[in-house]
Amino acid sequence: MQFDTVIHGGTIVTSTESFKGDIGINGGTISAIAEQLSGGERRIDASGKLVVPGGIEAHCHIAQESSSGVMTADDYYSGSVSAAFGGNSTFVPFAAQHRGQAIGDVITTYDSRAAPNSVIDYSYHLIISDPSPAVLDELPGVFARGITSFKVFMTYDLMNIGDAGMLDILTIAKAHGALTMVHAENNEMVKWMNRRFSEAGLTAPRYHALSRPELAEEEAVNRAISLAKLVDAPLFIVHVSTRGGAEIVRREKLAGTKLFAETCPQYLALTRADLDRPGMEGAKYICSPPLRDHETQDALWQHIRSGTFESVSSDHAPYRADASGKFLHGADAPYPKIANGMPGIAMRLPYLFSEGVRKGRITLGDFVKLSSSNAARVFGLDRKGAIAPGYDADVAIWDPEETRKATIEAQHDKMDYTPFDGMEITGWPQLLMNRGRIVVERGELKARPGEGRFIARKAVDTSAMPGHRAVEFDIAAGYGQEVAP
């Protein structure tokens, strides 16, 4: 057999096994895996290295305006470059609807931002902030285009769609095999805390974390799951940051609820004490949900290890620490006026490898699942997330021994800080390939803007999930009626 490319001599790591082998690639697709493959117009030496599926970043904000109008620092070029340097061959940023916008216009806008610029493959999750009847009518057309997941918010006055809005979205998503993602924090609790802090003149960055207590997440996680169960729709809880939230997710999964969840490196690496840094330094660590404490970090690692989370996502939300981002409303703006989020798309996998695999907290197979293969399955990327014949040649070659410090430069993004600054990280991607194209090789970008492609995603398949039952929503009977499958 002839190959365009052969990656030889590496240790191939999948979600279930590791073995020495060669990968033969033709036309951007993996066409053979064997102990030894000869030939190949291009041969890539991976000896002494790990060969893993390219990362899939399922939670990041790229060229997105926040509801208060702050644009992320990264566009689809810099964001995809940063993702690629961090070992990702696909990302799924959000296409965000702001109230009053037609969904068709939102998608057209994001297409124009992504298509000419992305160096890696991409799709979008659609954020819905305004589930009006006209918007709901547009959703079937969105699924038909292969955008098979949404994000909704239970917090922020300009985004929160309310419980009834969530039921509408969950119901229509279910009918089309789409997945609803939710930002779960109790809006009223947060607003009440904000009012109390504001009345007391407590507006420094540290009060941001205190204004969003763990109970606000736990209550909303519980409520979101209840709403999803009422209509028997699958649900994905994003950025779980609390032990209580993770415990609810675990309990519900074990009981058979169709539920997925993720956490993020910042909740493992940082704590709310980072918001106490001098001056306005703490603003760099403002994100929602907020950073917690060391006990929470340990608990989240336990949940990662035991399978509570499908993925560890970056929640890359890059707002620079200057007047274009965090300080749009002044250099000493009160915390409610500071954009929420931090960068991390380049550090997600190195951090997970270094702190997870190297420190014995997770296995290599877990690393593959958490970084790539689970996201592929959950979000309907059916040709991605595995190293096997017939899959896209999306491959990262890792040097498991390379040790470097996290720096702003290592992010290769447009940010002016990294929250991981100075951390020593062992295990970095050396080469990143997307559909057979080399995107990054030994610290150099090889791809051109626009080479990444939009990937139409499949519907979520929950049929294999535990506890699957067919439910018909019968208004006359007043409740979900179980029907024979």
**Per-residue mark of binding to ligand DUC, 174-203 (x: CB under 6 A):** ---------x--------------------
In terms of CB distance, is 52 or 264 closer to ligand DUC? 264
Given ligand DUC, Zn ion, none, residue 340, with its beta carbon under 5 to 8 Å by kind, binds ligand DUC
Judge whether 180 and 142 are in contact, CB under 8 Å. no
Residue 316 within binding range of ligand DUC, rule CB under 6 A: no
Closest separation between CB of residue 232 and ligand DUC, Å?
26
Dihedral angle computed from the Cα positions of residues 110, 116, 122 and 128, in that order, rounded to the nearest 10 degrees: 0
> Interface with ligand DUC includes 262 (CB under 6 A)?
no
Query: Could you give the CA distance from residue 233 to residue 285 in angstroms, rounded to a whole number?
Result: 34
Q: How far is the CB of 220 from ligand DUC (least distance, A)?
A: 12
Task: Return residues touching Zn ion (CB under 5 A).
Answer: 183, 315
59 vs 113, which CB is nearer to ligand DUC? 59
* Shortest distance in whole angstroms from residue 79 CB to Zn ion: 13
What 3-state class would DSSP assign to 444?
strand
> Binders of ligand DUC: how many residues, by CB under 6 A?
9
Kindly give the pairing relationship between strand 5-13 and strand 55-60: unpaired
**Smaller CB separation from Zn ion, 315 or 392:** 315
Rounded to whole angstroms, how far apart are CA atoms 93 and 99?
19
Contacting residue, 117, 123, 288, 308, with ligand DUC by CB under 6 A: 288
| Number of helices and strands in the chain (H, E) | 14, 20
Instruction: Assess 239 for contact with ligand DUC (CB under 6 A).
Output: yes
Q: What is the DSSP string of 389-426?
A: TTSB--EEEEEEEEEEE--HHHHTSS-S--TTTT-EEE
Tokens 């051109």 correspond to: 448
Closest distance to ligand DUC from the beta carbon of 159 (Å): 8
Closest to ligand DUC by CB, 52 vs 249, is 249
Cα 79 from Cα 75, distance rounded (Å): 6
Of 19-48, which residues contact ligand DUC (CB under 6 A)? none
Bridge partners of residue 182, in order along the sequence: 152, 237
Binding mask 47-66 for ligand DUC (x = CB under 6 A): --------------x-----
Q: Confirm if 93 and 124 have CB atoms less than 8 A apart.
A: yes
Binding residues for ligand DUC, per CB under 6 A? 61, 183, 238-239, 288, 315, 317, 340-341
